[in-house]
């Protein structure tokens, strides 16, 4: 089973995001970088699939040169092939991103054979577009399910479970296919020391995808105004219970 | 020309997130003098039709038939695109729910059009341009952008838009719509659905009682559960709690969990990391119980009790029981 996981390098933002003076970006000078929790789970899921079925885990990222850090982190938890699409400092929109990924997949598959499964995180934490995986699936002509909280592969088929309004929906489709996963599908492991050593030496397959201008033009970023008053203190400890009860009555939530 | 909105509905009527999307879509239509029309899958009840009129829908296109008996994202996307073409829609809008985002992403992929997620304001500037305001980082950042599109595909950050009925309700005319769907369009569809234990769903709950690391253990959640039941609400938890394995991820509130829109969020022992606050930003009233008066959640809260939730919550449960 050959599995490809696509990830995106994003800043580790804290409680207060700082914008650059031109309003075009977030100020990342004092920030670390990571991938989203959904994507950490996607890598873990791929590693588990390969542990069970055999095969390889490849991880791909489109991003600046520094994004190889995220590829090495993935190698430390079990990815064996690392693909870096050199995206430079520009922001790639979901259409350009999906085209770059689909083209890279087609090139790699010609050399190495098809990926049985391509995994994505459900959405990127920064832009939250919810669509790169789905667009890649359409470009490759493969079935796609997003929001996966459970995934099982057997006999060339995938079964996916996801949550829908207090219940679970089940999908089934023939491989090869694309699945966008959500945090909660598993609990990712921590990288091992030998994994980290291996990751340092791992080779990275570099390529330069073609940039395409999108139809959405960012004009300005801003931080939402938080002119919130400090909370009204109802009291301390159990002595506050009568005030709390009165508040619940006032809000009309007591039957 | 019109603005077309996908409406999600069930036995209980039109979903709250769709009412918010309709409010957004109506304002977009108002900016260019275009009417609001809607598509739903499955017959809409008389009551739902009436509610859609209160939100300004002029025409409703219910889609029925075998391909739509269970949810198939590609079939829904194709139906929306075909209807958009037939009605010369200048925008197609859906709530930013799991389904809404998924269907609109397929619509974007099938049509080659740009799809912009997490919008909360949109104004048509001219035939080819829409001015958009949308959330990034789950609402921690706001982006203003210009979209060049004669047909804009947008999903709505439902926790950033209120559901507002129009002051001039419309008479809804209903036109059953039969799109062209191939077998391949339903290759990926819900094979079956399993309802989980009954109870209030977190996404729809009017009251959510939150528990975090401060609860101290998996067993400690019994009191939180009891309080949620007494208030007719659902339990929500922090990411720390699901990572520790105390509660299932389906109860996680936050950027990578569920985004909630309750009237009351009673949040106990959760410090309020950014990832968590992103999931509860539109809660109407936030009441925090926390030992740390400087925790970020206290800054977000409207009311606070400083102290140990493991003493306060059981006492509150007793006090509520004593009332009745």
Distance between CA A82 and CA A57 in Å, rounded?
Answer: 9
Q: Which chain B residues contact residue A231 at CB under 8 A? A: 286, 288, 298-299, 301-304
**Across A145-167, average pLDDT:** 95
Domain B2-186 annotated CATH 3.40.50.620: yes
**Across B166-192, average pLDDT:** 96
Domain with CATH 3.40.50.1220 in chain B: 207-323
- The answer to whether the beta carbons of residues A153 and A143 sit under 8 Å apart is no
**Across B247-260, average pLDDT:** 93
**Across B147-170, average pLDDT:** 95
Q: Which chain B residues contact residue A234 at CB under 8 A? A: 287, 303-305
Q: Which chain B residues contact residue A14 at CB under 8 A? A: 274
Q: Which chain B residues contact residue A135 at CB under 8 A? A: 105, 108-109
Cβ contact A128–B302 (<8 Å)? no
Q: At what angle do helices B73-86 and B98-111 cross, to 10 degrees?
A: 60
H or E segment and range at residue B265: strand B264-268
- The answer to whether the beta carbons of residues B8 and B99 sit under 8 Å apart is yes
Instruction: For tokens 């694309």, name the residue.
Output: A178
Domain with CATH 3.40.50.620 in chain B: 2-186
Cβ contact B148–A215 (<8 Å)? yes
* pLDDT at residue A112 greater than cutoff 90: no
Quote the CATH superfamily of domain B207-323: TPP-binding domain (3.40.50.1220)
* pLDDT at residue B198 greater than cutoff 70: no
**Across A230-249, average pLDDT:** 94
Cα B158-A146-B184 angle, rounded to 5 deg: 115
Phi, psi of A194 (to 5 degrees): -60, -35
Q: How confident is the model at residue A165 (pLDDT cuts 50, 70, 90)?
A: confident
H or E segment and range at residue B266: strand B264-268
Residue B308 C-alpha, separation from nearest chain A C-alpha, in angstroms: 6
**Across B116-138, average pLDDT:** 96
pLDDT above 70 covers what percent of chain A?
99
Q: Which chain A residues contact residue B245 at CB under 8 A? A: 187
Strands (E), chain A: 2-7, 10-11, 33-34, 56-63, 81-86, 117-121, 144-148, 150-154, 157-164, 167-174, 177-181, 204-207, 216-222, 232-236
Which of B245, B256, B264 is nearest residue A38 as measured by Cβ atoms? B256
Q: How confident is the model at residue A121 (pLDDT cuts 50, 70, 90)?
A: very high
Of A58, A76, A51, A59, nearest in space to A194 by CA: A76
CA distances (Å), A126 to each of A1, A35, A69, A89, A149, in order?
Answer: 31, 10, 18, 15, 21
**Across B154-182, average pLDDT:** 95
pLDDT at residue number A150: 97
* pLDDT at residue B299 greater than cutoff 90: no
Cα B107-B113-B118 angle, rounded to 5 deg: 70
Q: Which residues are CB-contacts of B159 (< 8 A; sequence separation ≥ 6)? A: B139, B259, B260, B261, B281, B282
**Across B269-277, average pLDDT:** 93
Phi, psi of B130 (to 5 degrees): -120, 135
Which of A145, A162, A235 is nearest residue B305 as measured by Cβ atoms? A235
**Across A67-82, average pLDDT:** 96
Single pTM value for the model: 0.94
pLDDT digits (tens, 9 = 90+) for B19-76: 999 999 999 999 999 999 999 999 999 999 999 999 999 999 999 999 999 999 999 9
**B 55-94 residues with CB < 8 A to A:** 71
Distance between CA A213 and CA B14 in Å, rounded?
Answer: 38
SS (H, E, C) B29-76: HHCCCCEEEEEEECCCCHHHHHHHHHCCEEEEEEECCHHHCCCCHHHH
**A 167-186 residues with CB < 8 A to B:** 167-173, 182-184
Domains in chain A, CATH or no CATH each = 2-207 (3.40.50.620)
pLDDT at residue number A13: 87
* pLDDT at residue A185 greater than cutoff 90: yes
**A 69-128 residues with CB < 8 A to B:** 93-95, 98, 123, 125-128
pLDDT at residue number B210: 97
DSSP designation for B215 = G
Distance between CA B88 and CA B150 in Å, rounded?
Answer: 10
């Amino acid at each position: 089973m050959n599995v490809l996981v696509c990830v995106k390098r994003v800043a580790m933002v804290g409680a207060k995001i700082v914008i650059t003076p031109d309003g075009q970006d977030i100020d990342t000078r004092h920030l670390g970088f990571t991938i989203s929790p959904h994507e950490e789970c996607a890598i873990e899921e791929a590693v588990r699939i390969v542990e069970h079925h055999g095969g390889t885990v490849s991880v791909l990222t489109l991003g600046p040169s520094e994004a190889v850090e995220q590829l090495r982190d993935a190698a430390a938890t079990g990815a064996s092939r690392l693909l870096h699409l050199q995206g430079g400092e520009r922001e790639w929109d979901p259409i350009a991103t999906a085209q770059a990924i689909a083209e890279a997949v087609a090139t790699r598959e010609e050399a190495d054979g098809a990926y049985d499964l391509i995994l994505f995180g459900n959405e990127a934490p920064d832009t939250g577009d919810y669509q790169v995986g789905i667009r890649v699936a359409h470009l490759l002509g493969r079935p796609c399910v997003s929001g996966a909280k459970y995934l099982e592969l057997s006999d060339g088929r995938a079964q996916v479970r996801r949550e829908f309004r207090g219940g679970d929906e089940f999908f089934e489709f023939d491989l090869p296919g694309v699945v966008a996963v959500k945090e909660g599908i598993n609990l990712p492991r921590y990288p091992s020391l030998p994994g980290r050593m291996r990751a340092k030496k791992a080779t990275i397959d570099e390529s330069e995808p073609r940039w395409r201008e999108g139809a959405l033009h960012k004009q300005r970023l801003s931080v939402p105004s938080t002119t919130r008053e400090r909370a009204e203190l109802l009291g301390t400890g159990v002595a506050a219970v009568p005030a709390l009860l009165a508040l619940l009555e006032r809000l009309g939530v007591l039957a | 020309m019109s603005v077309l909105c996908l409406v999600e509905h069930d036995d209980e009527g039109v979903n709250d997130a769709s009412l918010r999307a309709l409010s957004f879509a109506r304002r977009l239509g108002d900016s260019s003098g275009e009417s609001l029309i809607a598509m739903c899958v499955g017959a809409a009840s008389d009551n739902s039709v009436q509610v859609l009129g209160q939100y300004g829908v002029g025409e409703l296109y219910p889609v029925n038939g075998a391909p739509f008996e269970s949810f198939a994202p590609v079939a829904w996307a194709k139906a929306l695109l075909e209807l958009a073409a037939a009605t010369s829609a200048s925008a197609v809008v859906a709530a930013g729910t799991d389904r809404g985002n998924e269907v609109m992403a397929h619509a974007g992929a099938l049509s080659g059009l740009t799809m912009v997620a997490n919008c909360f304001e949109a104004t048509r500037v001219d035939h080819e341009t829409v001015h958009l305001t949308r959330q990034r980082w789950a609402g921690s950042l706001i982006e203003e952008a210009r979209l060049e599109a004669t047909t804009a595909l947008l999903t709505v950050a439902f926790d950033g838009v209120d559901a507002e009925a129009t002051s001039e309700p419309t008479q809804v005319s209903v036109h059953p719509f039969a799109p062209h769907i191939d077998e391949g369009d339903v290759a990926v569809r819900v094979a079956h659905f399993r309802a989980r234990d009954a109870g209030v769903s977190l996404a729809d709950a009017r009251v959510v009682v939150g528990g975090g690391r401060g609860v101290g253990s998996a067993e400690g959640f019994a009191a939180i559960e009891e309080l949620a039941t007494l208030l007719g609400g659902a339990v929500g938890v922090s990411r720390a709690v699901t990572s520790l394995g105390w509660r299932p991820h389906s109860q996680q509130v936050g950027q990578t969990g569920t985004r909630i829109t309750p009237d009351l969020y009673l949040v106990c022992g959760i410090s309020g990391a950014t990832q968590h606050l992103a999931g509860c930003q539109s809660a109407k009233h936030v009441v925090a119980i926390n030992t740390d008066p400087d925790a970020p959640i206290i800054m977000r809260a409207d009311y606070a009790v400083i102290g140990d939730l493991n003493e306060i919550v059981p006492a509150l449960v007793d006090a509520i029981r004593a009332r009745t």
